[in-house]
Amino acid sequence: MISIIIPTLNEEKLIRETLSRLKSSMTLPHEIIISDGKSTDTTVEIARRLADNVVVYSGTARQTIAQGRNAGARAATGNFLVFLDADCRIENPDKLFTLALESFKNDPRLVGQSAWIKVFPENETFGDNVVWTFMNYSNVLLNLVGIGGAPGEFQMIRKEAFERVSGYNEQLIATEDYDMFNRLSKIGRVRLNTALVVFHSGRHGHVLGWPKLLFLWFMNTLSYTIRGKSFSREWTVIR
């Protein structure tokens, strides 16, 4: 079974569509788990109507996305864990997950897959297309050379492999997604499967602007590579 884990924090604008698309068109055995970081809007109410399980953070400090993903994984019962961002859209879930499962079946050493990421067609700008094309090919290369890398918008991981590497590093504010595939690459094979396409809102690039966002990405990657720590002390919430 596939466990789809979606971390949320004040996602009422998009979470209904994200969940409705999955619930209405996915027939493969699955469960949808919302891992909420104490939303103050109607996210939890929407999730409780549409998701199979809702886990709500009870801590006092702001929950990191790594903590949210791990909390969702602890509640999961499937043998494949899918980490999907709340502002993502999968056009044909059955087709995408059938292809992904076939890849896992055909390669027992494959422990994690990511997808080709694009911005919603109705929102996509020229800058979005340029940046994400570059990022996608960069991730293809990172996985081919055995370093491992994948964006957090979509990651599909064998549960046994996820547990073997002890989940996401909760000390990382950013780059926890790349860190996960880096560690997975040490116990098996990881890849960006270009046959899998996942769309997302592109909101960070649109609101912050690509120059600022690319600077933050670069600094976080550099800090993680050199120091094993994030450059960002807190990730900007954009809704």
Q: Are 190 and 109 in contact (CB under 8 A)?
A: no
- Give the pLDDT score at 114: 98
72 in a domain, yes or no?
yes
Contact of 36 with 57, CB cutoff 8 Å = yes
What is the helix (H) or strand (E) element at residue 176, kind and residue range?
A: helix 176-184
* 194: in domain: yes
Q: What is the pLDDT of residue 1?
A: 95
Query: How many Cβ atoms from other residues are within 10 Å of residue 26's Cβ?
Result: 18
Is residue 59 assigned to a domain?
Answer: yes
Whether residue 63 contacts residue 36, with contact meaning beta carbons closer than 8 Å, is answered with no
- The pLDDT, as a whole number, for residue 234 is 73
In our burial notation (b when 16+ CB lie closer than 10 A, e otherwise), range 172-189 reads: bbbbbbbbbbbbbbeebb
Asked whether residue 109 is domain-assigned, the answer is yes
Cα end-to-end distance, the chain, whole Å: 31
Instruction: Give the model's pLDDT for residue 216.
Output: 87
Look at residue 222 in the predicted model and tell me its pLDDT. 85
Specify if 107 maps to a domain.
Answer: yes
Extract the residue ranges of the chain whose pLDDT is less than 70.
235
- Domain span at residue 183 reads 2-200
Residue 189 placed within a domain: yes
For residues 87 and 201, is the Cβ–Cβ distance under 8 A? yes
The reply to whether 221 falls in a domain is no
Tokens 């340029």 belong to which residue? Answer: 130
Q: CATH number, domain at 96?
A: 3.90.550.10
Number of domains, the chain: 1
Residue 192 lies in a domain: yes
